[in-house]
Amino acid sequence: MRKKRKLTKGEKLLYTMASLCLIFTMILKIFCKAGVGHLSMSVEQLKYDIANQEKTNESLTMQVNELTSFDKVKDVASDMGLAYNNENIIVVGN
């Protein structure tokens, strides 16, 4: 007949520590994956916001270019009673 072998105190401690390390590793992995997922969602949201802001900036730039065109300025000046005098224009060059 074979006798049952009992675990020593050191073996019990080793098995307990190994089990705790395994459980801690699994929990740490879950939290890290959740953090990475949250950061990924934040990055995608920021990319979306940047794309929308770029569209808005482009639209505003087009409006500024339209409003500062020579014809538009001339029309506004004539509506206010001002006249275009080519002799008052000074060209600054290099």
Which helix (H) or strand (E) is 92 found in, with range? none
C-alpha pair distances (Å), 66 with each of 49, 56, 71 = 26, 15, 9
CA quadruple 9, 15, 21, 27: dihedral sign: negative
pTM for the whole structure: 0.58
- At 10, list the tokens: 């050191």
| Per-residue model confidence as pLDDT tens for the chain (94 residues) | 677 888 899 999 999 999 999 999 999 999 999 999 999 999 999 999 999 999 999 999 999 998 888 888 888 888 888 887 777 777 777 6
For residue 89, the model assigns a pLDDT of 75
For residue 44, the model assigns a pLDDT of 98
